[in-house]
């Protein structure tokens, strides 16, 4: 087996690994979209039931405020899912942000001149960095889900309190 064949197989495996890791990103983003829709729906229902502040008792205020804080925290983590830190990949010929710092001709020239071993290192670096970003996204998604789930109880209480208050104030 010649040296070129020894590098070609790892290059293919590195590309496959990068594609495998990149394939998980749409899954995280789809789950985050569903969670954002649930959060938004909960906030819409809650806000549609809020009576005038001066007429509210303490417990409905506590339940509503707790719900708002938890859903707000969930939305913060969803923001982190949508916009993770993209730093890294310095001088990469694979990472889109680094490619975009070059002119078209400079990128083509550097890509064509890159040795296979250097390309393999670059690809493996991208596998590692994208795995790191994916882990951050999954972790933030988990936190967003937990906060939303915990918000359900105070949300139900607040909506119930607010609905009962509205029913009692209208003949």
pLDDT value of position 99: 93
pLDDT value of position 171: 37
pLDDT value of position 7: 60
DSSP state letters, the chain: --HHHHHHHHHHHHHHHHHHHHHHHHHHHHHHHHHHHHHHHHHHHHHHH---GGG--HHHHHHHHHHHHHHHHHHHHHHHHHS------TT-SSSHHHHHTS-HHHHHHHHHH--HHHHHHHHHHHHHHHHHHHHHHHHHHHHHHHHHHHHHHHHHHHHHHHHHHHHHH--
pLDDT value of position 170: 45
Across the chain, which has 171 residues, the per-10-residue mean pLDDT values are 67 95 96 98 96 88 96 98 89 92 95 94 94 96 98 97 75 37
pLDDT value of position 5: 60
């Amino acid at each position: 087996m010649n040296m070129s064949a020894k590098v070609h197989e790892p290059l293919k495996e590195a590309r496959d690994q990068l594609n495998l890791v990149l394939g998980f990103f749409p899954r995280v983003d789809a789950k985050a979209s569903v969670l954002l829709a649930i959060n938004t729906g909960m906030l819409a229902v809650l806000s549609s039931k809020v009576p005038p502040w001066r007429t509210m008792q303490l417990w409905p205020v506590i339940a509503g405020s707790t719900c708002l804080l938890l859903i707000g925290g969930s939305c913060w983590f969803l923001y982190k899912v949508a916009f993770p830190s993209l730093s890294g990949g310095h001088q990469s010929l694979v990472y889109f942000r680094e490619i975009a710092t070059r002119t078209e001709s400079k990128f083509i020239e550097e890509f064509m001149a890159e040795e296979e071993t250097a390309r393999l290192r670059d690809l493996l670096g991208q596998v590692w960095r994208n795995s790191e970003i994916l882990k951050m996204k999954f972790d933030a998604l988990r936190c967003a889900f937990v906060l939303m789930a915990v918000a359900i109880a105070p949300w139900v209480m607040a909506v119930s309190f607010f609905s009962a208050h509205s029913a009692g104030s209208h003949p």
